[in-house]
Amino acid sequence: MNRVYNFSPGPSMLPDAVLEKARDSLLNWNNTGMSVMEISHRGKDFAAVAQSFEGRLRRLLAIPENYRVLYLSGGATGQFAAVALNLGRPGKHAEYLISGQWGKKAVAEAAQFTDVRTVADTFAQLRAPVAEDINLSGEASYVHYTHNETIIGVEYQTVPETGAVPLVGDFSSTLLSRPVPISRYGAIYACTQKNIGAAGTAVVIVREDLIKDKPKAVPSIFDWTVQDGQQSMYNTPATFNWYLSELVLEWIEDQGGLEVMAEHNQAKASALYDYIDDSQWYRNPIDKQSRSWMNVPFTLPDDSLDARFLGEAEQAGLANLKGHRSIGGMRASIYNSMPMAGVQALIDFMRDFAQRNG
Ligand SMILES: *Cc1c(COP(=O)(O)O)cnc(C)c1O
**Confidence grade of residue 325 (pLDDT, cut at 50, 70, 90):** confident
Supply the pLDDT for residue 327.
Answer: 82
Shortest CA distance to 94 belongs to which of 166, 42, 21? Answer: 166
Residue 141 has a pLDDT of 97
Please tell me the distance between residue 339's alpha carbon and the centre of ligand 1 in angstroms: 23
In 152-191, which positions are buried (b, 16+ CB within 10 angstroms) versus exposed (e)?
bbbbbeeebebeebbbbbbbbbbbbbbebebeebbbbbbb
Q: With 90 as the cut, is the pLDDT of residue 227 above it?
A: yes
Q: Is the pTM value of this prediction over 0.75?
A: yes
Residue 326, pLDDT score: 82
> In this structure, which residue's CA is closest to atom 10 in ligand 1?
76
Distance between CA atoms of residues 75 and 165, nearest Å: 25
Distance CA 119, CA 101 (A): 16
Catalytic site includes residue 102: yes
201 Cβ closer than 6 Å to some ligand 1 atom: no
The model's confidence at residue 213, banded by pLDDT at 50, 70 and 90, is: confident
Residue 151, pLDDT above cutoff 80: yes
| Average pLDDT of the residues in 271-279 | 98
* 44 flagged as catalytic: no
Q: Is the CB of 95 under 6 A from ligand 1?
A: no
Provide the pLDDT confidence category of residue 1 given band limits of 50, 70 and 90. low
- Where are the strands (E) in 110-194, listed by range? 115-121, 143-146, 148-149, 154-155, 167-170, 187-191
Q: Give the pLDDT score at 2.
A: 86
Helix then strand then coil, in percent of the chain rounded to 5, is: 40, 15, 40
76 lines ligand 1 (CB under 6 A): yes
Give the confidence band of 215 by pLDDT, cuts at 50, 70, 90.
Answer: confident
| Contact criterion met (CB below 8 Å) for 109 and 80 | yes
DSSP class of residue 17 equals: H
| Cβ–ligand 1 contact at 116 (below 6 Å) | no
214: confidence class by pLDDT, cuts 50, 70, 90: confident
